Amino acid sequence: MNRFASAALSLALCALSPAEAGPAPETVKHALVKAVAFYHAKASSHGGYVYRCSGDFSLREAEGIPGPDTIWIQPPGTPAVGGAFLDVYEWTRDPACLAAAVDAAHALTRTQMASGGWDYSGHFDGAHRDQQFYRRDPDGKLLDRTAAPSGEAGWHIWRQRNHHETNSTTLDDDVTQSALRLLIRVDQALGFADQEIHESVEYGMKAILTAQYPCGAWSASFETHPASSPSAERYPLRRASNPEAWSRTWTKDFTGCYVTNDNLHATMIRTLLLAAQVYRDSKYTEAAKRAGEFLILAQLPEPQPGWAQQYDPQMQPVWSRAFEPPAVSGRESQAMMWALLTLCAATGDKKFLAPLTPALAYFRRSLLPDGRLARFYELETNKPIYFKRGPGGKGHELTYEDDNTASNYGWKWESELDAIEATGKRLAVGGVAPGLYTLPPVKRLSDGEADRILGALDANGAWVEREGDRGIMRDAGGRKTQPVAGVIHGDAFVTNITALCLWARGR
């Protein structure tokens, strides 16, 4: 879980002289309020957002080319942007910033599925909405969804794929989790007075609690509203182990019911702890603890005490997509360690620190020559493994060589082992107060860095990019183009605002 680094942030930073002074806080407040007002007025569709827009807002792009009435839930879409608005409000108390965050929250309540959560994108045009089991109409009125699919939770139900196109809740890529975290924060900011937002949180949180497996894990998605939890008979408690053998070619059989891939499990824990903190309800804390107990069970045995991306009901690593093999994952394992640290900070229970000592020792032994971690380490041999494109550029093939890898994936990740170890030591001696749903950052902006980010903001209140790949997006026909007005990226907006608000609070 890379919680501190950001490609967007690096665009605004360069070598800085120690003598450089930061901006005046009042100047930053004025600039951020202006940035929120501009982005809300120009980039919003029905209160929601996509990934990037051209500087004149004639083009919009996410994963594909969204229509004018489509918003994106998957970060850095609507929940991430709404969270940035709320960050500014919490610092400045500017009511327009809160109103912008509320608009984003309502865009989410009106794209919530009857299954309980959210899909990657949400639609406000009639043709798309008629095909989906959204819980509310575009104005926020609850719809009659008694005919929507409901029943037992579990991966065996998802594998039937009966409602994938109409009622999909995804936990992949922090989709449903990020939506719930924004709604919870806005609910709190409004004093729990907006019934539409409050009811949406209750419905969504109940769904993810019910969908949790007996071992404390979750699957990547579900399409049937979870009326009852998965059974322990079908999904028994087991400690992780390695398969006796595994195929080096993709099995095309999605048996990975317990998922940590793309930090799914870590973001679920954050969401539960935030809900526990805001609503002071122990059921969320207990669910977060069960999630932590899954991480203890899911740690693979020595000599590779890390974590895999997905496990079958026997708690053994299995294939997911064609480039996601049964393996120890460097990226996800770091996310799991941060999640355990967060649980210890939030609950005061130091049992969640126990898996870190062997994991840190193992990953230090496994660092690549450049000091990074491989995304995947082969079971048993511990060799770093990668994937290249197959014949004719189609498919994926496993390889031990890193010089011709497919470009669709992050095969190497920066090590966060030092920060994880330092945080663990602080927690072991009581150095972080219990009650936090997320750990404080290891590194804040310097004054000079804050000045540079602020200086990159244009007169309208936008961070516009024109250089390299960041100055290119796709037009309505899907062709790459370099807009004359440049490109405004949602990830840069969110990263820069978050960083500046953290900087201001630390002064």
Band of pLDDT at residue 291, cut at 50, 70 and 90: very high
CB–CB of 222/176 below 8 Å? no
Query: What pLDDT sits at residue 366?
Result: 98
Residue ranges per structural domain of the chain: 7-505
Query: What pLDDT sits at residue 435?
Result: 61
The number of C-alpha atoms within 13 Å of 273 and in the hemisphere containing its C-beta is: 27
Query: What pLDDT sits at residue 163?
Result: 87
Tokens of 20: 């450089």
Instruction: Cite the DSSP H helix spans in 348-416.
Output: 356-365
Query: Rounded to the nearest 10 degrees, what angle do helices 330-347 and 356-365 cross at?
Result: 150
CB–CB of 80/174 below 8 Å? no
Gap between the Cα atoms of 333 and 337, Å rounded: 6
The number of C-alpha atoms within 13 Å of 471 and in the hemisphere containing its C-beta is: 10
Question: Interior CA angle at 100 toward 96 and 102, to 5°?
Answer: 115
Query: What pLDDT sits at residue 436?
Result: 63
Tokens of 82: 């709404």
- pLDDT tens string 44-77: 999 999 999 999 999 999 999 999 999 999 999 9
Higher pLDDT, 12 or 122: 122
DSSP 8-state code for residue 301: P
Gap between the Cα atoms of 447 and 222, Å rounded: 45
Query: What pLDDT sits at residue 505?
Result: 82
Provide φ and ψ at 139, rounded to 5°. Answer: -95, 0
Gap between the Cα atoms of 26 and 504, Å rounded: 10
The secondary structure element, H or E, covering residue 417 is helix 417-428
Band of pLDDT at residue 299, cut at 50, 70 and 90: very high
Q: Can you tell me whether residue 498 is helix, strand or coil?
A: helix
Instruction: Map tokens 């579990």 to a residue.
Output: 154
- pLDDT tens string 395-443: 999 999 999 999 889 999 999 999 999 999 999 998 776 666 677 666 7
CB–CB of 465/489 below 8 Å? yes
Gap between the Cα atoms of 449 and 431, Å rounded: 28
CB–CB of 310/258 below 8 Å? yes
Residues 92-107 have a mean pLDDT of 98
pLDDT at 7 over 60: no
pLDDT at 10 over 50: no
Instruction: Map tokens 């602020």 to a residue.
Output: 454
Instruction: Cite the DSSP H helix spans in 300-395.
Output: 330-347, 356-365
Q: How far is CA 425 from CA 295, 333, 341, 342, 345, in A?
A: 19, 18, 10, 13, 12
Tokens of 210: 């019910």
Query: What pLDDT sits at residue 19?
Result: 47
Query: What pLDDT sits at residue 8?
Result: 36
pLDDT at 271 over 70: yes
Q: Which amino acid makes up residue 434? A: P
Span between the terminal Cα atoms of the chain, in Å:
26
CB–CB of 167/114 below 8 Å? yes
Instruction: Give the mean pLDDT of the chain.
Output: 93
Question: Interior CA angle at 169 toward 300 and 87, to 5°?
Answer: 85
- pLDDT tens string 13-31: 333 344 456 899 899 999 9
Please check whether the domain covering 7-505 is classified as CATH 1.50.10.20: yes
- pLDDT tens string 320-340: 999 999 999 999 999 999 999
Q: Which amino acid makes up residue 284? A: Y
Query: What pLDDT sits at residue 22?
Result: 80
- pLDDT tens string 179-234: 999 999 999 999 999 999 999 999 999 999 999 999 999 999 999 999 999 999 99
